[in-house]
A and B are shown apart, each in its own frame.
Chain A
Amino acid sequence: MAIVFQPTEGLTGKPFHYCPGCNHGIIHRIIAESMVEMGILEDTVSVASVGCTYNSYDYFSCDAVQAAHGRAPAVATGIKRTLKDKIVFTYQGDGDLASIGTAEIIHAAARGEKITAFFVNNAVYGMTSGQMAPTTLLGQVTTTSPFGRDASYQGYPINVSELIAQLTGAAYVERVCLTDFKNIQNAKKAVQKAFRVQQEGLGFSMVEFLSTCPTNWGKEPVEAMEWLKEKMIPQYPLGCFKGADIDFSKKEVQA
């Protein structure tokens, strides 16, 4: 027998501090595996943000810079402009990217900044204990929308991928989820495509991961996966919103 699946060297091996069933661990792993498989682990700088993944640098075994809340795309811009031949990615949650950091993510994309944003959308603020996020669904109960998010009072969820895809500088934008083997494989392909887009200098790339937060949703991990499929995907449909025509399997890269 041969080993067909084992932990990746793209991760440091330090046990994750994330709650049971949290999808961050899956996302970390497929990003780390992708860096190793693409041979870019030693040429990558990750930018950690604020939230549950503030210390993602403890887990990714590439170089890393920790950024202030929402500012990761600006920090990544500074790094990438300095290290033009390196791969730079941000790892941000929905409070970070879609609320306090909206200016930074939109303008990084608009500039066509050659960085990759990994955006984890779990419809809630995780680290600060379950407050309403810009991505919280209508009717969803959180610690700051205790009666359920009411559109007339708290407004509507933001569909970040659709928004970013409108910008000419964004070369590749895709939304994925991690509910089963096939979707995780798709998510990993999206991660690798995003890195390739950056390598080829085509512009800004972003992968949005729909993710569960069992703790703050008050659900068992498996129940949370079902809730994601049933409630989140209708609001946040999966798919490629920009750059679907970029196909690296062909020899010539389309610009």
Chain B
Amino acid sequence: MAGKRVLMKGNEVIAEAALRAGCRNYFGYPITPQTEVMHYMAKKMVEIGGNFVQAESEVSAINMVYGAAAAGARVMTSSSSPGISLKQEGISYIAGAELPAVAVNIVRAGPGLGGILPSQGDYWQATKGGGHGDYRNIVIAPASVQELYELTVEAFNLADKYRMLAMILGDGTLGQMMEPVLFRDEEPIEKIEKPWAATGRGGRDFHNTVTSIYIDPDDLEAKNIELQEKYKYIEEHEVRYEAYGLEDAEIVITAFSTCSRICKNVIKQAAEQGIKVGMIRPITLWPFPTKIISETADLSNVKAFLDVELSAGQMVEDVRLAVSGRKPVHFYGRMGGNLPTQKEILDKIIAIHNDPNEGGRV
């Protein structure tokens, strides 16, 4: 498939990317709208001699991931919102034991069983921890099928590099979308040694232990400090975003993934009406592109921000923290699986253009 464009579905591309990244272990449980990831893995993983296990639950699937990661393998699971909620126990243990793994969340609308249509309502769960304890996951939000491919490969590299979970946060629109993908001849796989893995001593005169329990409070605090230092380093080195039109924008949109695609079209329409709109699209939701948003808030041409999400407003809190009250931050969101129309967003932009402080409230 290398070297030419192939038309593929988003979910299948995630699976293909994982295989190309050297992942030979997949553990999952069926849930809409991510099942194509599983279907693809069920066939291909067996064909290439890897491991595919349909687990008895999401809880078991993430613990199989934990086991395979502890044994030094590249490993992935995929699910959708209610299933990711169930996986939070294992995700916390993965953070505590510092294991590299990749999880995919093709988000659907909630809360509860909710619906199967697209949503970004898991932003908080993904970026603020999700499970118990002080920890982070690297959260990556692709906006196209091509990005699903490239960023899934990257997720494996980041997971290995930092010994932590990297999550691909998509939604039903992205997962079900068919777009052309250009595959590379060779993947940029970073081979990282895992001397800490529990693989059997095999000649070592000591035994390796993978654990997240530290009974002594000083030991546990030291472990937490170590984790926080790692997270700080990642915040300084691994932020990814796309920004454009900031230098002369009057209004700056913040939006990620599916939402950012709709907003891009609106920006053109606004320009036709003489309103200059720029955009900052976070690609890593954690680490969050706080710095660029903060710098943008200082630009004299920028009068206001508009955050657009498929939720009641979650990322907008991080945008407001970055802006720190220097400019008004407005919000527009749709829920329940509905997408905002271009007209709805454009109307909001016109209202903000007419009154940067209060217009967003209309």
Work out how many contacts link A and B, with CB atoms closer than 8 A: 139
Q: Of B27, B51, B67, B213, which contacts A47 at CB under 8 A?
A: B67
The chain B residue with its CB closest to the CB of A75 is B67
B96 to chain A, nearest CB (A): 9
Q: Of A62, A76, A77, which contacts B200 at CB under 8 A?
A: A62
> Do the beta carbons of B90 and A79 come within 8 Å of each other?
no
B325 part of interface (Cβ distance < 8 Å)? no
Task: Count residues on chain B whose CB falls below 8 Å from chain A CBs.
Answer: 41
> Do the beta carbons of B210 and A74 come within 8 Å of each other?
no
> Do the beta carbons of B213 and A55 come within 8 Å of each other?
yes
Hey, which chain B residues are within 8 Å of A71, CB to CB?
59-60, 63, 66, 89-90
> Do the beta carbons of B207 and A61 come within 8 Å of each other?
yes
Q: Of B57, B64, B75, B199, which contacts A83 at CB under 8 A?
A: B199
B266 part of interface (Cβ distance < 8 Å)? no
Hey, which chain B residues are within 8 Å of A74, CB to CB?
55, 59-61, 63-64, 66-67
A138 part of interface (Cβ distance < 8 Å)? no
A241 part of interface (Cβ distance < 8 Å)? no
A86 part of interface (Cβ distance < 8 Å)? yes
Hey, which chain B residues are within 8 Å of A47, CB to CB?
67
Contact with A along B209-242 (1 / 0, CB 8 A): 1111101000000000000000000000000000
B72 part of interface (Cβ distance < 8 Å)? yes
Contact with A along B28-66 (1 / 0, CB 8 A): 000000000000000000000001010111011101111
In Å, the complex CA distance between A179 and B361 comes to: 76
B71 part of interface (Cβ distance < 8 Å)? yes
Hey, which chain B residues are within 8 Å of A12, CB to CB?
207
Known A103-B60, A107-B56; contact A77-B201, beta-carbon cutoff 8 A: no
A54 part of interface (Cβ distance < 8 Å)? yes
> Do the beta carbons of A79 and B56 come within 8 Å of each other?
no
In Å, the complex CA distance between A73 and B225 comes to: 31
A227 part of interface (Cβ distance < 8 Å)? no
The chain A residue with its CB closest to the CB of B69 is A78
B119 part of interface (Cβ distance < 8 Å)? no
Q: Of B64, B66, B200, which contacts A45 at CB under 8 A?
A: B200
Comparing A36-44, A164-172, A213-221, the segment that makes contact with chain B is A36-44
In Å, the complex CA distance between A196 and B211 comes to: 27
> Do the beta carbons of B200 and A63 come within 8 Å of each other?
yes
In Å, the complex CA distance between A101 and B137 comes to: 26
> Do the beta carbons of B90 and A57 come within 8 Å of each other?
no
A82 part of interface (Cβ distance < 8 Å)? yes
A68 part of interface (Cβ distance < 8 Å)? yes
A67 part of interface (Cβ distance < 8 Å)? yes
B346 part of interface (Cβ distance < 8 Å)? no
B167 to chain A, nearest CB (A): 18
A66 part of interface (Cβ distance < 8 Å)? yes
Known A103-B56, A103-B60; contact A82-B51, beta-carbon cutoff 8 A: yes
> Do the beta carbons of A82 and B67 come within 8 Å of each other?
yes
> Do the beta carbons of A79 and B70 come within 8 Å of each other?
yes
B338 part of interface (Cβ distance < 8 Å)? no
Hey, which chain A residues are within 8 Å of B25, CB to CB?
78, 81-82
In Å, the complex CA distance between A103 and B25 comes to: 21
B68 part of interface (Cβ distance < 8 Å)? yes
Q: Which 7 A-B pairs have the closest CB atoms?
A: A78-B67, A74-B63, A66-B211, A78-B64, A75-B67, A78-B68, A107-B56
* A-B contact sample (11 more), CB < 8 A, given A78-B70, A82-B72, A86-B199: A43-B202, A45-B71, A55-B213, A55-B215, A57-B207, A68-B93, A78-B66, A79-B68, A82-B68, A104-B60, A107-B60
Q: Interface on A for B, CB 8 Å cutoff? A: 12, 41-45, 47-48, 54-55, 57, 60-68, 71, 74-83, 86-87, 103-104, 106-107, 111
Q: List 30 A-B contacts (CB under 8 A).
A: A42-B201, A43-B202, A45-B199, A55-B211, A57-B207, A57-B209, A57-B211, A61-B201, A63-B198, A63-B201, A63-B209, A64-B198, A64-B207, A65-B198, A66-B213, A67-B93, A68-B89, A74-B60, A74-B61, A74-B66, A77-B53, A78-B65, A78-B67, A78-B68, A80-B67, A82-B72, A103-B60, A104-B63, A106-B56, A111-B53
